[in-house]
Structure formats: structure tokens, C-alpha cells
Structure 1
Amino acid sequence: MRRRKKPSKNIWIKLVWLLAVLLAALFYQVSPQDILSGNFGKNRHIVQTSAQLEPSKIREEGKIRVCIWNVHCYLDTYRMKNGRRIKSPKPEDEKEEILKIIKDINPDVLGIEEIGGEPYAKEFAKRLSQSGMNYPYFAVSEESSEYPQCAIFSKIPFQKTNILAVKNFDYFGESARSPRGMLVADFKTCGKDWRFGSIHLKSKFGAKARDRENNLFRQKEAELIAKDMSRFLRKGGLAIIGGDFNEEPKDGAIAILKKAGLEPLKQENSNGLPFSYHWAKENAYRQFDFFMISKPMKKYAEKAEVLPIVKSASDHAAVFTDLDFSKN
């Protein structure tokens, strides 16, 4: 009688390793491929969904509206009130104004900048729902509620979400880190895989003399984003990222992202101007908020629209564009 071979030790090791990968993927809410490639970090994204909410009907098959907006300090922070500087939440009238504007735009995917961490994202999602706008899927860049974060709210389900550019980098001989990185969400529409990113690069304010307006810091952030996006872009990925770059399309950090394969999407307001931010200190208007897209995405996105700046809501304007994935 032929004796049956016992499974080799290597097979058992492989089976145990596969089980560990699947369990880790479930725990960290990422794909097994991300676990194997090490493409997940300690500062794990937060994803919240609600069983009580159903995704809103997409406007037309394959057509998706995406919007970005820096809503200006949607968290507890120091504000001037009755001549005194006190720590307080964003005023209720400003929050209501934001909701009205978002309702008018009616985006399917919404990238928000300058919101607090998980508690504020939950509150914002609840307010959207109470205003008749259901965004059952959302993620924030970090849990911290003490520092402005990026968030993505969506009517359509994520394939996955992730935070890019969170590694430390050398900054004048010291170790520094992007306070937000870039939050990305992957989607599938009409059989096409595409990526949306909410970004907020380092502000020009608070810069020290060695780095005028934090230009070098933003370039370091852009280098990490370009590196983390490089594989996706090299494979011809459909990408659209946007938010508050704190730079205009001609500046240094944007040049790094252009070299990586992203380019600014043309935008204009009703007057044909691209400006999205009013810099009160210099009484100047700047194009700090815009979208950048990969070359293959150009087929599905034509141009973006900048809404008027409503100062009772934010010193930044909301910017949106329509993607049409029904095109072959």
C-alpha cells in the first residue's frame, strides 16, 4: 500500500501566513494587497458607515459630481468673540451656510478641508443627513480633533480609503511630518476604477525665516504624495485630487505633482476667473483651491466651476466638477 504523503512544513507556514494576512486586512479595513505591500500606516484612516442611511441615487448612469471645499476651522479653535480670543466651535450660522451651499451643489463625492477628526466628521455627516443629504460613507485623515484634517464624504461606496504622504522627511536636518498627508478614496463606476483625493498642504502662515511662507515644507509634502501616487499613475490610473494646495498652479509644489503625471484642471467662476481664496492680509485673491487630474482622467473631466466666496461660511470657495464615466 502506498503511504500518503504528509503536507510539508512549508505548506502549513504558507497557510498560517495567508490566514494572518486576511485577518489583518479585515482589521485594518484595507485590501490584502495593501498588507502584503506594506501600504498601510500606523495612523489608520477612519471609516464610518450607517446602516440607517442608503446611498443617494446617482444623477445619471456613470455621471459623478465631485466637490472640494476648505470650510475654515470646522473644529474647536481660538476665535475672536466680543473683543476676546476664546476657544470655541465653528459658529452655528456658519455651519448652516455651509450646508446650504453643499445642498445647492449636490455632489456625489465631497472633499472637505479644515475639519476636525472623527467627532467632527460624525457631526458633519449627521448635519448633512438632517438637511436631506445622505452621505453614508466617510473617512478622515486622522483621529485627532485638535488639528484641522481632510475628510471625504460620499454617496457611493468606497472600494477602499488610505492616507498618503505620512512618512517623516528631513527638514533642515530635523525630522518633520505632514500634519494631514493626503486622504484618498478609490471607487468603481461603470466598470472603471478611479481615485479621489482630498488634500491640504501646509499653510503659508506661521513660517519661519529659514523657509519663507513654508515653500520648502510644501515641496516635501508634494514629493511624498508624488512618490505614493507614482505606481498608480504609471499604470495609467484615473485620478482626480483636489483641495487647498496653499499654492497656485504655477508654484513649486505643484510643479512636482505635474512632473509625477498630474495637471491642474481648468476652472472659472461666473466672471471667467479661477480665484478661490481671499487673502485678507493682502486683500488679494488667489487660486489655492483646485483639482489636479491624471492624463487618462482628462477624457472624463472637462473643467471645474468655482462658486463665489461666501465669507459667512468660509474664506475659501467651493469648487466642483462633473465626471462622465459613461464615455467609452
Structure 2
Amino acid sequence: MFPRVSFRHSGADSLRLAGILAAAVLAFGMASCGKKGGTPDWDTPGQEAPAAETAAVPAPQPAPPPAPPVAPPPAVTEVTAEPSSEGLRFIAYNVENWLTMDRYVDNKLLKNTPKPEEEKQAVVNMLVANTPDVIGFCEIGEAGDLAEIQSSLKAAGLDLPHSHYIGGSDPVRHLGLLSRFPITSTAKAAETDFQLQGRTFSINRGILDATITARGKPYRFLGVHFKSKRAIEEADQEEMRVHEARLLRRHVDALLQADPEARLVVYGDFNDTRPTKTFKTVTGSYNDPGYLTALPLKDSRGHSWTHHWGLHDIYSRIDFITVSRALRPEVDFRASHIIDMPGWEKASDHRALIAIFN
């Protein structure tokens, strides 16, 4: 508080009092500045904020309870179907040259070389994962090749102890069948030759005919692998397939004439698509009692192709499973499908088909 000053004095006293007053004001101002200086730059390296200027440290809080342990993610395992306890699971599969032949491996021609081990293992993995009761194969080499598949499957946990192996005029590629259940009978088609352009030809890979009885029900399997689309000098390749289809159809008609209730599964690599004469010859007329229903199989994406021709990048449905009218009611159409599990392209240029019967 400033002293009360009276100005009722002489001039000299007035000047002296004015000086005293100015000095007092100056001293007060300097004292005020000493209490609050300018904001220092506390971000300068090596410089600490004084204790009076730091934020108050909150009182320590109790530690939160420990978080519950997090379970590790489940291991990724390949889904494997359970072996069937009723009905029948059938796979039709062209395994692409499970045989010894000249092959190109890494752009090198290798003479008399078996199917690469990586491809074989991919075939085995796919089959074991789908636990079929019966498998119908195309493009098997010798009987020993079918036995190799059989032993490889058994070592991987899929035991199909019963087998059947046949061929036609092609000395290299044959048909084979493996079964969990005993093969009760086999047969041969009455006709296996046809005439074309004045020459006699035999069906290339024959017609596999084997019957099994599974859980009290008979199933008769007819397997084929028709002439490929590769041109030959002797005859038109398309006409050859049509003639082979006629031989198969005559065999089917003979069986159904003898037993109209025959439970037939007619399958294989037709090397032709649905609109062709080959396909229609095999299935017959829809209104005919002997009509064979082609199962409308699709993969997990809704696609229906079964073969990829890599040279021309063409995807086609040329592999089929068909059934007679007596067996059609037992087909599980929703569960039957084209197998497209990862690695299919390592195993073969074809995708396997699986039909499930109740």
C-alpha cells in the first residue's frame, strides 16, 4: 500500500517527494516481474522444467486384474470326410497318366519315366480326404500301377482291398477299379469292335464291368475312356467316339433288357461334352426306360467343368457319372459334387467326381 502523500509543501519538498514516489513504484514493478517471468523453452535438450511448473503426479491406482490367457488359434487341418457307414461313396477319376511314358519334366524330355511323385501324392491326398468306398480310374498303365495306387492309399489310411483292371486296343492306358467291398462279378461286353471307313477298330480302352454288393445292395459299375480329341490319320476322332459310345449303349441295353431294375453306374471320361452325339448316345432318350441320368455335378463355386486343357486354356465338362432309373432315387444330389480341393491341378488335368448314394 503506497504512503499517503500530501502536496501541500514547498517546491523543493514537492520534487523530493515525487522522486520518492517514483522510486517506490519502480521497486514494486520489479518485485512483480520477479514473481512471473517469461515462458522458458522446456523442450530445449538438457533443460528440465522446475518442480513448481510440472504437472501434479496422480496418486497411484491399484493395478488392473491380469487379462485372462488367450487361447492359441486352432491348428489348420485339412478337412477329411468320415468313412461312410451307410450307402456308398463313389469317385470317378482320370488320374492323368499314372503310368510309365516319355515325359517333359522342367522342359526336358525324359524317357520311360513314371508319373512324378509329387503328382502321385496329390492324387492320394485328394482321395484319402474324400474316403470313397469305390473308385473308378482312367489312364492307368499296367496292373502294377493300379496296385501301386492301392498300396499308397492303404498306407495313407484308405484300405480298398478289392480291384479290377481291364483294357482295350490301347496298349498304354487302361481302366481300373478299387473297392472297399468285395467284387462279386465282372463281365465283358459282347461287342468291342466297329467299322469305320472300311476299317475295323476296337474300343480304345475297353468297357470295365464290375458288380459289388455294399450293405446288402448291388451296384454294377460300367467304366469307359473314349478316344481323345487328338487327330489320327486312320479315321475321324469324333466318329470314333460316337462308335465307342454305341458299343457302350448296346451293352447297357443288353443289361437292362435282362434286368430292367439293374442298378447301373455308368461313368468315365467321354472326351466330349453334353450337346454332342457321343454323350446323347450314351444316355439315350429321356422317355426311354433305359435312359441314364447324368448327375448335374458342380464344384464349391458352382462351376461344372471337369478338365483343363492347358495347351489351349480350355475348361470343359467331359467326365460324367450317370445312373439307371432304378438307382436314381438313391442319389444324394445335394452332396454329390466335383472335387475342387486345393492341389487338384498337381494331381491331374481332370477333377474327380464324387457320387453319394443313400
Instruction: State whether TM-score is above 0.5.
Output: yes
Structure 2: 5+ residue runs without aligned partners? 1-81, 285-289
Cα pair distance change 1:143/1:223, threshold 3 Å: closer
> What residue identity is the alignment partner of 2:242?
Q
| Greater mean alpha carbon deviation, residues 110-119 or residues 161-170 | 161-170
Alpha-carbon distance change, 289 to 174 in structure 1, aligned in 2, over 3 angstroms:
same
Structure 1 position 314 matched with structure 2 position 348: yes
Task: Give the 3 Å change call, closer, same or farther, for CA 210–184 of structure 1 in structure 2.
Answer: closer
Pairing 1:288–2:313 present: no
Query: Aligned equivalents of 2:250 and 2:169: distance in 1?
Result: 25
What per-residue deviation string (whole Å, max 9, x for no partner) do you get for residues 29-87 of structure 1? xxxxxxxxxxxxxxxxxxxxxxxxxxxx96223x1000011010100111113433222
Q: Is the 8 A contact 1:64 1:108 kept in 2?
A: yes
Q: Letter of the 2:350 partner, please give it.
A: H
* TM-score, reference length from structure 1: 0.75
Matches within 5 A, 1:1-328: 59-61=84-86, 63-87=87-111, 88-142=113-167, 146-164=171-189, 167-208=192-233, 211=236, 214-234=237-257, 235-259=260-284, 260-303=290-333, 304-308=336-340, 310-324=344-358
SS of corresponding position for 1:215? helix
Local SS of the residue matching 1:311: helix
Aligned residue for 1:164, secondary structure, equals coil
Alpha-carbon distance, 1:305 to partner: 0.5
Residues in 2 aligned to 1:177 and 1:209: alpha-carbon distance in whole angstroms: 13
Residue 132 to residue 189, structure 1, CA distance change in 2 (3 Å) = closer
Letter in 2 for 1:307: I
Counterparts of 2:141 and 2:231 in 1: how far apart (Å)?
A: 20
In structure 2, do the counterparts of structure 1 residues 144 and 208 end up closer, same or farther at CA, with 3 Å as the change threshold?
A: closer
Residue identity (%): 26
SS in structure 2 at match of 1:100: helix
Partner SS, residue 94 of structure 2:
strand
Q: What are structure 1's unaligned runs of at least 5 residues?
A: 1-56
For the Cα contact (< 8 Å) 2:124–2:149, is it kept in 1? no
Contact 2:98–2:114 (CA under 8 A) maintained in structure 1: yes
Letter paired with 2:339 = L
Q: Letter of the aligned partner of 1:242 in structure 2?
A: Y
Note the aligned Cα RMSD (angstroms): 2.2
Shift of 1:298: 0.9
TM-score normalised by structure 2 residue count: 0.69
* Separation in structure 2 between the aligned mates of residue 258 and residue 243 of structure 1, nearest angstrom: 13
Alpha-carbon distance in 2 for matches of 1:105, 1:219: 33
Contact map agreement 1:73 1:90 (CA 8 A) in 2: yes
Q: Is the 8 A contact 1:237 1:296 kept in 2?
A: yes
| Structure showing greater relative contact order (alpha-carbon pairs closer than 8 Å, 6 or more residues apart) | 1
Do 1:215 and 1:252's aligned partners in 2 also have CA atoms closer than 8 Å?
no
Secondary structure (helix, strand or coil) at the match of 2:121 reads helix
**TM-aligned CA deviation for residue 163 of structure 1:** 3.6
Question: How far off its partner does 1:144 sit?
Answer: 9.4
- 1 or 2, which has the higher strand percentage? 1
Larger Rg over CA atoms: 2
CA drift at 1:210: 5.2
Q: Alignment partner of 2:347: what SS?
A: coil
